[in-house]
Structure 1
């Protein structure tokens, strides 16, 4: 690359807004960090038996549920509202909520000490992994608080460096540990978890200490901050808990109704279906500050609507690309034992896409402080998912879980969009901030094409032809939407 070309690139970068820079850097940081995890997956699937991968999946699923309780949903969208309302007292506010989540995790630890055997029997995890999980419950919220503040303030450099560093080092350590212990296949799952999550939690513990050090006795137990945070976040606790039930109950039920080997296969394929979501997490986290800053300005709503459509359509392009590439991705990441179940990945991908669609509307509900509506929709969808899985998994096996998840996410997206529209119109003056018809049309077509992608899996020529046809069409649609 010539010096003039480099200067041109730097000039384009420097002319971008801080919001745009932050979105780009956070997106690439998340992609790189999670990409390392995806790249390492072939090592694990080829060395670790499916039941050991199932232990990893069981730990992650259980941690998702327990950590939701310990965090009191304070790491949900309500935290962003607090950063906005207490903009001159952010150090004190962050320190106070970090104290609150630390206290709840200590309470959980005391409950474990009272009855460790009950926890082990209920979760299916060893005592050592439960202790690791409880330590994670204490330190992970601190990292989330710190990261969300960096995103809100567009302080992307430190956050990007730490995100990538932690992910890369923990993954490399886990791969090294599994390779060293490969002769003892019965403990590989625990080895991987202790090394990878142990290192990550130590980093997060340091962040917790830093956050607490910026406060004082008054801010640790500040009644104003606690009341504000709990009032806004506790209704989201039901939502967060139900979200975890919706997203991980399938693995817990598969473990109980079938075995950990089935959990390992399903979890691996589910991670393939979730590849696109690692993009969405970064995109949505960057879109939220922009939305919150523009939402009250009626003259900007048409532009916000256009940007929302472009964001959704761009994500649709990625979703379709991943859906068509599933056979290749699974062949690279896993073995034939996993590949024979490749047909369950498209409904998983479609379900994850509907999560992204629903996020556009839950963002509005959080801004309007109508978190009870979010909780209601998620509880209903989570309940439907559990009931369907209890009935269908014993009959059709773990493949049924992918389709029950899709049905639950369809219901969830519908309820979130209806409630988001209703409460926005009720609480904020002026026209609605999204074009619902266009958003719904984009989502419907994307889900339909994603499900139809399974038809192309036996024919590589057809799949690759569609990739070269559909992706340019989606990109063209993106620019047509932009011009409108």
Structure 2
């Protein structure tokens, strides 16, 4: 029996195995994150948890300036451009992040008083933040390199081990400190720094290069014009918590952070699937067969929609288990944030052509517009509606981002004379409409556990009775990926 399963697994297309491995890894990683939330929401006050949340928001913004988001979209393009020098490019990209981190520490040290006041964080915490940013960038560059060739075993093993040790370090630091919010931050930072140092040494060993002017010029030329895109994206993902902390309280920021974490619960799965899907999709664009596999994108979207609806349905119970009664108010912010996840999925795939064809102007317009709208709406609604208002401004911002990204997608299709859409546009938007309607209806049923339980049971029964159809669908997806690489 076990041997048969192993044989079937070995015959499975590499892309399917990679996606499955990354999904399982994300589930394990997210499970550890849930354990961490359950643990630390009970060990930290809402104000201390707010400190951690605000730290994370500033970290996201600083990451853009320090790393120029080198490990992300443009990295896949570089893996195609420098196909015969991938190891060298990876080590040079990592060295670039180290160099930028050193510059950032120097600037922070000179203007330490100013930065401490703006960030509302001690100087030593800001230094830890920069070190963690650099370490994470180093790890993510290596991940991107491995994922591009579907070397998923090393990535999965590394991720699980790092997550487990990180949880242990944070727990030890918190129980041994009176400043528990900062202790959790330092424990997590040290974990990233340790593992980042190991990856850096390994990458330098196999890459043999730490500075190649051709690579450095490419990184700056490609990523610097995208700075508004990445910064705007981070702002409308992170500004909510910073503005809630300033316009309301650090405690409210902590409660919103729980809602945001739960609403984005499936983000790890989405990211894992897209990390496996993007290289495959780039190859399909290259060989001109992307449109022939457009159903794959739709089925992934449908799977994400089911997960989002399930999450929204069980939100009150999950919040109760994860964080306890003091975070109960977070349940009303989860549905719009969770719906944003599906919108984010559509936005990401629409931008694939921008990244592939190295077109930056549309991405910058999309993110800047969304970020400006998000900040303005937050400024208007947070003082009156509180953190729940911030959740809805997040959804509105993502929809604006998606609309502009879709316009960009259509323009690029026309510019490069694509004969047909590479995605099933109508189906993607129809699924999104259903998710929005169901999400808002389910929110009205939060006080009725019985009705929601009946809906969950009904959903499980539908899946059970349609299992043959579902299996056939997965077989089609599996077959469509059999000729990858």
Question: Shorter-chain TM-score category?
Answer: over 0.9
Matched, 1:196 2:188: yes
Residue number among 419, 423, 441 corresponding to 1:434 in the alignment: 423
* Pair 250,462 (structure 1): closer, same or farther in 2 beyond 3 Å: same
Q: Is the Cα contact below 8 Å between 1:313 and 1:474 reproduced in 2?
A: no
Partner Cα distance (1:275, 1:112) in 2:
33
Structure 2 equivalent of residue 389 of structure 1 = 378
Partner Cα distance (2:109, 2:457) in 1:
58
Q: CA deviation at 1:474?
A: 7.2
Partner Cα distance (1:211, 1:366) in 2:
25
Deviation readout 1:8-66 (Å, 9 max, x if unpaired): 21111111122211111112112212210112211111121000001110111111100
Deviation readout 1:285-341 (Å, 9 max, x if unpaired): 111011011123444522x21100011111111111111010110010012121134
Partner Cα distance (2:364, 2:243) in 1:
22
Aligned to 2:84, the other structure's residue is in SS state coil
Matches within 5 A, 1:227-238: 227-238=217-228
Aligned to 2:30, the other structure's residue is in SS state helix
Residue number among 392, 410, 425 corresponding to 1:421 in the alignment: 410
Structure 1 equivalent of residue 310 of structure 2 = 321
Q: Is the Cα contact below 8 Å between 2:319 and 2:330 reproduced in 1?
A: no
What's the TM-score once normalised by structure 2's chain length?
Answer: 0.93
Structure 2 equivalent of residue 79 of structure 1 = 75
Equivalent pairs, count: 473
Matches within 5 A, 1:242-281: 242-281=232-271
Q: Is the Cα contact below 8 Å between 1:324 and 1:453 reproduced in 2?
A: yes
Residue number among 2, 5, 8 corresponding to 1:6 in the alignment: 2
Partner Cα distance (1:319, 1:28) in 2:
17
Partner Cα distance (1:416, 1:19) in 2:
26
Structure 2 equivalent of residue 308 of structure 1 = 297
Partner Cα distance (2:123, 2:463) in 1:
50
Q: Is the Cα contact below 8 Å between 1:368 and 1:427 reproduced in 2?
A: no
Structure 2 equivalent of residue 173 of structure 1 = 169
Q: Is the Cα contact below 8 Å between 2:351 and 2:405 reproduced in 1?
A: yes
Matches within 5 A, 1:53-452: 53-181=49-177, 184=178, 187-216=179-208, 219-299=209-289, 301-302=291-292, 304-452=293-441
Aligned to 1:51, the other structure's residue is in SS state helix
Name whichever of 244-253 and 465-474 sits farther off.
465-474
Deviation readout 1:100-148 (Å, 9 max, x if unpaired): 2222111111101111111100101111210100111222211111001
Q: Is the Cα contact below 8 Å between 2:255 and 2:329 reproduced in 1?
A: no
* Pair 57,300 (structure 1): closer, same or farther in 2 beyond 3 Å: closer
Q: Is the Cα contact below 8 Å between 1:298 and 1:430 reproduced in 2?
A: no
* Pair 245,472 (structure 1): closer, same or farther in 2 beyond 3 Å: farther
Q: Which runs of 5+ in 1 are unaligned?
A: none
